[in-house]
Structure 1
């Protein structure tokens, strides 16, 4: 009888541990877990962009991004900030300029050795260094000012491998001041993210 009780307790703890592990893995790390360089296709109203993510150097950031992709949370969001010769930023608002819900903020991996060079993808954030959650941007220039120095920089987590011309075209659209966002550099004609998918490993 005693052995049966011990076995039942062991089996129960094993089940709890497995459930806890499964819950923990819902952070994006479960998506192509053995692939250090997953590729993601971003389909927009201006064309498609494929990015190769660097999970080896930016594991927290890549897994976070893949988590939003997995939840289809970037679909029907917009690129709401376009600064020519600087950045194309999006992923945070829908077409009505309503902010999308987000997972908790992540640790800033800006010191990973990746720099904000032309055609890289990086995380947007507030002034607080560890405040990134879902918004990202494409660098449309070599933006050394966004790299870490005396202060925390902006974490780069991949690069564009297809669709550089699409991002260049995005960076040149006409923008205006938006009363809804209380911000400049908002495209007059919305650039919408229609679909984001993780591509099969190469």
Structure 2
């Protein structure tokens, strides 16, 4: 199954490859995150600081906090970059890690914030299908709000580095191959992809 959303009047989509039954939606809550915290992405394009507020989307924020604390996003590629729309990431470089985390599927949060420039939001395949893939909005993509895309945070520093993430491969990397082969596939066919070197919880 390919996670995708398509606006009625646009060809753009946000997609994430996942393989699961909808009956596998996680029933166990993640450990509760702080009401507000900051995540620093040390990327090959420069540092990016993200502010997360649990009140925006508690289920998604708790899961993101758990994933960052667990090192999930370290060495993850920005595998899908659509200028003026969004940049997507969140498939582990290790297929075994991806498989484990993809089994933990989240219920949706209500949409309380708008998908404006710099917001961080989960990719989905429809209702109650979020796992680990996220995107940062390059533009004001408020058409996503009515489709259930609930922002969990926003870039507060380093958005210029997000803008500079390599877009030469566009949407060419195939998500099922990334899921199955990890960074081995990306390094061979898309060696210039930018990536997250390290993601950590930090004090502002």
Answer yes or no: same fold by TM over 0.5: yes
Q: Match for residue 21 of structure 1? A: none
1:199 correspondence with 2:194 = no
Distance across 1 between alignment mates of 2:66 and 2:138: 25
Match of 1:162 among 145, 157, 165: 157
Q: Decide whether the 8 Å contact of 2:111 with 2:149 is kept in 1.
A: no
Distance across 1 between alignment mates of 2:141 and 2:66: 27
- Compute the RMSD of aligned alpha carbons: 2.6
Q: 1:163 to 1:143 in 2, by over 3 A?
A: same
Q: Match for residue 116 of structure 1? A: 115
Shift of 1:54: 1.3
How many residue pairs get aligned? The number is 164
Distance across 2 between alignment mates of 1:116 and 1:43: 23
Q: Deviations over 1:27-72 (max 9, x none)?
A: 241x5x3xx2211101111111100001012111111000101111
Q: Decide whether the 8 Å contact of 1:77 with 1:93 is kept in 2.
A: yes
Distance across 1 between alignment mates of 2:41 and 2:148: 25
Distance across 2 between alignment mates of 1:114 and 1:180: 28
Q: Deviations over 1:107-128 (max 9, x none)?
A: 211x3320100110001111x2
Q: Decide whether the 8 Å contact of 1:116 with 1:142 is kept in 2.
A: yes
1:65 correspondence with 2:64 = yes
1:136 correspondence with 2:163 = no
Q: Decide whether the 8 Å contact of 1:38 with 1:52 is kept in 2.
A: yes
Which aligned segments of 4 or more residues in structure 1 are displaced greater than 6 angstroms? 96-99
Structure 2: gaps spanning 5 or more residues: 1-27, 179-188
Q: 1:97 to 1:79 in 2, by over 3 A?
A: farther
The aligned runs of 1:28-67 (5 Å cut-off) are 28-29=31-32, 31=33, 33=34, 36-67=35-66
Partner SS, residue 147 of structure 1: helix
Partner SS, residue 77 of structure 2: strand
Distance across 2 between alignment mates of 1:179 and 1:136: 16
Distance across 1 between alignment mates of 2:141 and 2:86: 9
State the structure with more CA Rg: 1
